[in-house]
Amino acid sequence: MNAPVAPRVTAARLGGVLALLALALAGALVLAVTIGVETVSWRAALTAGTPDRAIVVQARLSRVLLGAVVGAALAGSGVTFQALLRNPLADPYVLGVSAGAAVGATLAILSGAGWAPLLPVWAFLGALGTVALVYAVGRVRGRLVPHVALLAGVVFNAFAGGIIVALTFLARPGRAQEVLLWLVGALGSPAWEHLLAVAAWTALGLLALVVLAPRMNALALGDEGAHSVGIDVEATRRALFVAASLLTGAAVAVAGPIGFVGIVVPHALRLLLGPDHRLLLPASALGGALFLSLCDTAARLAFLPLGSEPGVGVVTALIGGPFFLVLLWRRRGERLF
Amino acid sequence: MATARRATVLALLLGCSRTRAPTSPPLRDELGRPVHVRTLPAHRVVSLAPNVTEILFALGAQETLVGVDSFSDYPPAATQVARVGTDLEPSFEKIVALRPDVVVTATTANPQQAAEAIERMGVPIYVTRTETLADLEPTVLDLGVLVGRAQAAHALAARIREGVAGVRAATARAPRVRTLLLVWSDPLFVVGKHTYTSDLLAAAGGANVAEDAGDGFPKYSLERVLRHQPEVMIVGSHKNDDPKQSPFAYWQRFPELPAVRTGRLHAVDGDLIFRPGPRVVEGARALAAILHPELAR
């Protein structure tokens, strides 16, 4: 990996960058809460029991916070998969991990076991299963070959899509519709306990990754390099895979598979901040929250005349698709696979 | 996609049937398209919509039904008729094999591409359009002509008209109750304006708060529900619903809504209000009983 020359990560720089991102995120959240289908009287919104307050708190704030949590989870897992596969195109969506999580969650919903706070667990199991498969296929003679793993993920992605469609055919009509609508990648207004559950899962996963960030840096040196600086490569990989699966599962369980957040955000921040994961990881989590909040606001603004809120997955795909292609284009001189 | 492709292949294989000369004078369906029914009145009919099936049974034309869609489950005898797949993806092969004189579709149940794909195989398609309550009477009369039961159709149309008028008269003096009709809670889909369901609600003494959603059964914003403060919320239940799952569980977190606060959340048999057929009278009565319990004797 051609590491760009980046300043060293000092406590001051870390604090400064994260504070800046947190501030931007706070701004985006405030903006998101002020924009919606209905015009709200802010004076009335301060009074409990008014429709205005319900619109702001129940309909908007819960959705906005959910978007921030999901964005953080997706960007965090994106950074991790990129470090694991040493490839900037890796992300939970492209690798099929989101689709695997969706299969897990779909099975839970269709079987009636889909109690919302535990849905992330099902999605996590689906994500973990996908990762295990991708990893098993990607290991050639005991060594992880990133492009084989990446291709295995791409193939599994399509396969998982087929599984889900097949499952919905077997389901009772109402349930199938529920799954299909959820698969579009949408942010609804969740109940607070669901939001709390997802936030807790996400916090757990991100915390684990922050602790593992120095080891992610070592992985960039290659297997031998990491080994030579005293890292147990296998154990590190396993821990990272589990943490990234946890994050993907949490995000997919509540919002369906939303694409491209895991690529766009880490890559943009890597260009700005350099490849050191001690900074890149927490910055990506905040950046992911910021990016998805802005996408959601854009989605709601764009469809304002229609009087309904579209899926945020549409907007992330509209931004992420071209971004992905530009990324490929700019790297066309390099050996990708 | 796959079915469309299959239909195209079939159409090519059966190309000869496309050139078959019409055996009866052209009839026009409810979209104004000419339909070359093989014999008029039709003796072999395939219905691809549950409301059409119900109307044909109510006309006493069940003998002509040789095939129905898989959602046609009323009256119970309808389930004994050969199944030809779902409203959205009917099986073209099964339909052709039944050699129908005409296949009847409904704009509210069947995608137009499916109808046209069947037509390309040389099977006449009669499209009914019953989008509002006012459309129901012409549909009943048209189907009566199609199966040669015009007299029964006039009687049925009168029975529906008088039944709904009776409900309308009973609720005429009662105050309008601001109501939200739910198709689906999360994501939110509602009954919009210019729909037979909204018309039934009006006859039953309700006012549809989601008229600003537009026509049909559109997606709707939660913010608007919270703004409109419906006094009553009604969902159409279905026998495939999970009995363990309350259709209103989602709404319990919004005690700001009068309907939630006062417990005026009701389920109505969805087939009575979401099928523009003979049972809309029962649907109107069920809605009136919910909206105006004080009028029930």
Residues B167-206: tens digit of each pLDDT: 999 999 999 999 999 998 877 889 999 999 999 999 999 9
| Cα B217 from Cα B184, distance rounded (Å) | 10
Kindly list the domain boundaries of chain A, sorted by start residue. 51-330
| Cα B7 from Cα A298, distance rounded (Å) | 40
What are the backbone angles phi and psi of residue B85, rounded to the nearest 5°?
100, -175
Q: How far is CA A179 from the centre of its chain?
A: 19
pLDDT at A58: 87
pLDDT at B10: 44
From the list B91, B104, B101, the residue with the least C-alpha distance to B48 is B104
pLDDT at A308: 63
Q: How far is A84 from chain B (nearest CA, A)?
A: 36
Low-confidence winner among A259-268, B12-21, B85-94, B182-191 (lowest mean pLDDT): B12-21
Most confident of A158-162, A176-180, A323-327, B45-49: B45-49
Q: How far is B278 from chain A (nearest CA, A)?
A: 24
Helix A119-138 with A192-219: angle, nearest 10 deg: 20
Whether A161 has its CB under 8 Å from any CB of chain B: the answer is: no
From the list A300, A190, A103, the residue with the least C-alpha distance to B219 is A300
> Does the structure show a pLDDT above 80 at B3?
no
- The confidence band for A302, taking pLDDT boundaries of 50, 70 and 90, is confident
Half-sphere exposure for B115 (CA within 13 Å, toward CB): 24
Low-confidence winner among A274-278, A305-309, B100-104 (lowest mean pLDDT): A305-309
Residue type for position A172: R
> Does the structure show a pLDDT above 90 at A65?
yes
When comparing pLDDT for A192 and B56, which is higher? B56
From the list A294, A270, A293, the residue with the least C-alpha distance to A281 is A270
pLDDT at A334: 56
Q: What residue of A is the nearest CA neighbor of B236? A: A174
**Mean pLDDT, to the nearest integer, of B5-15?**
44
Nearest CB to B226 within list A54, A172, A174: A54
Q: Position of tokens 């916090």? A: A203
Half-sphere exposure for B203 (CA within 13 Å, toward CB): 27
pLDDT at B97: 93
pLDDT tens-digit profile of A10-36? 888 999 999 999 999 999 999 999 988
Q: Is A112 left (phi over 0), alpha (psi -120 to 50) or beta?
A: left
pLDDT at A330: 77
Tokens representing residue B290 in the block: 């919910």
Strand partners, B234: B181, B266
pLDDT at B24: 52
pLDDT at B227: 93
Strand partners, B182: B190, B235
What are the residue ranges of helices labelled H in B125-279?
133-146, 150-171, 196-203, 222-228, 258-261, 270-273
Per the CB < 8 Å rule, is A55 touching B227? yes
Q: What residue of B is the nearest CA neighbor of A52? A: B227
- Asked if ipTM goes beyond 0.85, one says no
Low-confidence winner among A38-52, A61-75, A177-191, B159-173 (lowest mean pLDDT): A177-191
Tokens representing residue B99 in the block: 């050699």
**Mean pLDDT, to the nearest integer, of A96-116?**
83
Per the CB < 8 Å rule, is B242 touching A60? no
- The confidence band for B293, taking pLDDT boundaries of 50, 70 and 90, is very high
Most confident of A301-305, A320-324, B67-71: B67-71
> Does the structure show a pLDDT above 50 at B8?
no
Nearest CB to A59 within list B214, B218, B226: B226
| Cα B101 from Cα B120, distance rounded (Å) | 15
Q: What residue of B is the nearest CA neighbor of A191? A: B253
pLDDT at A336: 44
Strand partners, B46: B67, B103
When comparing pLDDT for A37 and B58, which is higher? B58
> Does the structure show a pLDDT above 50 at B17?
no
Whether A171 has its CB under 8 Å from any CB of chain B: the answer is: no
Residues of A in contact with B219 (CB under 8 A): 308
Count of A–B CB contacts within 8 Å?
67
Per the CB < 8 Å rule, is B186 touching A188? yes
- The confidence band for B13, taking pLDDT boundaries of 50, 70 and 90, is very low
pLDDT at A47: 86
Percentage of residues in chain A having pLDDT higher than 70: 88
Question: Which secondary-structure segment (H or E) carries B12?
Answer: helix B2-13
In the CATH hierarchy, which fold is given to the domain comprising A51-330?
ABC transporter involved in vitamin B12 uptake, BtuC (1.10.3470)
Interface of B with A (CB under 8 A): 184, 186-188, 212-214, 218-224, 226-227, 229, 238, 240-242, 244, 253-254, 256-257
Q: How far is A290 from chain B (nearest CA, A)?
A: 23
Percentage of residues in chain B having pLDDT higher than 90: 68
Q: How far is B221 from chain A (nearest CA, A)?
A: 5
pLDDT at B1: 40
Q: What residue of A is the nearest CA neighbor of B227? A: A51
Instruction: Give Cα separations from A286 to A67, A282, B14 (angstroms).
Output: 12, 6, 61
pTM: 0.80
